[in-house]
Amino acid sequence: MNTEIRPIQAHQEYRAVEQLQREVWGLEEVEVVPDHLLLTAHKNGGLVLGAFDASLGGEGGQLIGFVFGFVGLSSDGGVKHCSHMTGVAPDCQNQNLGYHLKLAQREHVLAQGLDRITWTFDPLESRNASLNFRKLGATCQTYLRDLYGSMRDALNTALPSDRFQVDWHIASTHVADRLRGKWKGLRLSSLKAEGVPLLNHPLPGDPPRPAEVTLPIQGARLLIHIPAYFQAIKNIDLQLARAWRLHTRSLFEAAFAKSYVVTDLLFEDGQSCYLLEKDWTPDEDRTR
């Protein structure tokens, strides 16, 4: 694949971003971010980047991915970049394209003089969590209950739309280390061998069920288990998916209230676990 990542420019490219939203999320028309809003945000401090495959389509290539965000304010009045959407065409996923779009976004936002990007995602989506925490070095200490209410797209129907708000401190030591690949040495089995507690051992089964008893939230580091394949659970047992939502919601909210920060997602032997660290700051990386 011969891919170029560059700012969206022509009107037909903005229209292509509209179409890609439909393909990626199965959005109803009312939920598609329209071309005029994308263009206005882009021309006023925001950012719309596209990934184009030069081997497809006509001049300039075919749009196969995009990232869209805009300038916002944090609760303390600081200026940040709000990353609203990152999407990759279904037949181009699992090829690191989302990762490279986020890296390009980081470079553009750094050039604006900003050092923080935020976005939201479903904390039970293990693959997205691996990209956000493990590879990019984002962190989280904010849990948002049912943020969007009842959602109408194909991936998010029928469950409370709980979200993590992640912070990507793009000029920090932690992010620089992650982008250099220093996360590769950290393993779930090693953390358990070191005595880092897993709060919620899942009940056996296929698929597994949430723990009935959880450990106390204490110590410097701890682990929280999530389903490795949440979409699959949703497809076969919506009641179980809801149970996982409520179970993990209570754990994350309690941990964040005690000043823990999510710093990683570890996947090993079919298990996905978040690593949380007490009173963590972005210019340290105790997980190396």
Query: Is 136 among the domain residues?
Result: yes
Q: What is the pLDDT of residue 153?
A: 60
CATH number of the domain where residue 80 is located: 3.40.630.30
SS3 state of residue 213: coil
d(CA 111, CA 104): 11
- Give the Cα separation of 42 and 71 in Å (integer): 10
- Of 53, 85, 114, the last residue of a domain is 114
pLDDT digit string, tens, across residues 1-57 = 689 999 999 999 999 999 999 999 988 898 999 999 999 999 999 999 999 998 887
User: CA 233 to CA 209: how far, in whole Å?
Assistant: 10
> Average pLDDT for residues 141-162, to the nearest whole number?
82
- pLDDT at residue 151 in the model: 65
Percent of the chain with pLDDT over 70: 95
Q: Is residue 40, in this structure, part of any structural domain at all?
A: yes
pLDDT of residue 136: 97
Q: Is pLDDT above 60 for 173?
A: yes
Q: Is the pLDDT of residue 286 over 50?
A: no
Contact 17, 35 (CB under 8 A): yes
Does 288 reside within a domain?
no
In the predicted model, is pLDDT for residue 236 greater than 90?
yes
- Whether 149 has a pLDDT exceeding 80, the answer reads yes
In the predicted model, is pLDDT for residue 59 greater than 80? no
Instruction: Look at residues 99, 114, 129 and tell me which one is the last residue of a structural domain.
Output: 114
- What total number of domains does the chain contain? 2
Nearest Cα to Cα of residue 121 among 112, 113, 130: 130
Is the pLDDT score of 285 beyond 60?
A: no
Domain-embedded: residue 229:
yes
Model pLDDT, residue 27: 87
Calculate what percentage of the chain has a pLDDT beyond 90. 84
Residue 270: give the domain boundaries. 119-283
Two tokens, residue 84: 């609203």
Residue 287: pLDDT band (50, 70, 90) is very low
Backbone angles phi, psi at 278, to 5 degrees: -80, 130
Over residues 100-129, mean pLDDT: 97
**141 lies in the same domain as 279:** yes
Find the helix or strand (DSSP H, E) in which 142 lies.
strand 139-144
User: 13 with 154, same domain?
Assistant: no
* 154 or 16: which leads in pLDDT: 16
Q: What is the mean pLDDT of residues 189-217?
A: 95
**Shared domain check, 86 and 58:** yes
Q: Residue 79: is its pLDDT beyond 70? A: yes
d(CA 221, CA 279): 10
Assess whether 167 and 250 both reside in one domain: yes
Among the candidates 114, 142, 168, a domain finishes at 114
Residues 166 and 265 placed together within one structural domain of the fold:
yes
278, part of any domain: yes
**126 and 89 inside one domain:** no
Q: Which residues contact 235 (CB under 8 A, 6 or more apart)?
A: none
pLDDT computed for residue 261 by the predictor: 98
Contact 276, 262 (CB under 8 A): yes
Dist CA 142 CA 282 (whole Å):
15
Whether residue 56 lies inside any domain: the answer is yes
Same domain, 42 and 127: no
Same domain, 159 and 244: yes
When pLDDT is averaged across residues 99-112 and rounded to a whole number, the result is: 98
Model pLDDT, residue 264: 96
pLDDT at res. 155: 60
pLDDT top residue among 27 and 213: 213
Residues 138 and 24 in one domain: no
**Are residues 104 and 165 located together in one domain of the fold?**
no
Q: Is the pLDDT of residue 117 over 90?
A: yes
pLDDT in the model for residue 60? 78
Considering the domain architecture, whether residues 37 and 16 belong to the same structural domain is answered as yes
Whether residues 129 and 26 share a domain: the answer is no
Q: What is the mean pLDDT of residues 236-259?
A: 97
Is residue 161 a contact partner of residue 152, using CB atoms and an 8 Å limit?
no
pLDDT at 288 over 50: no
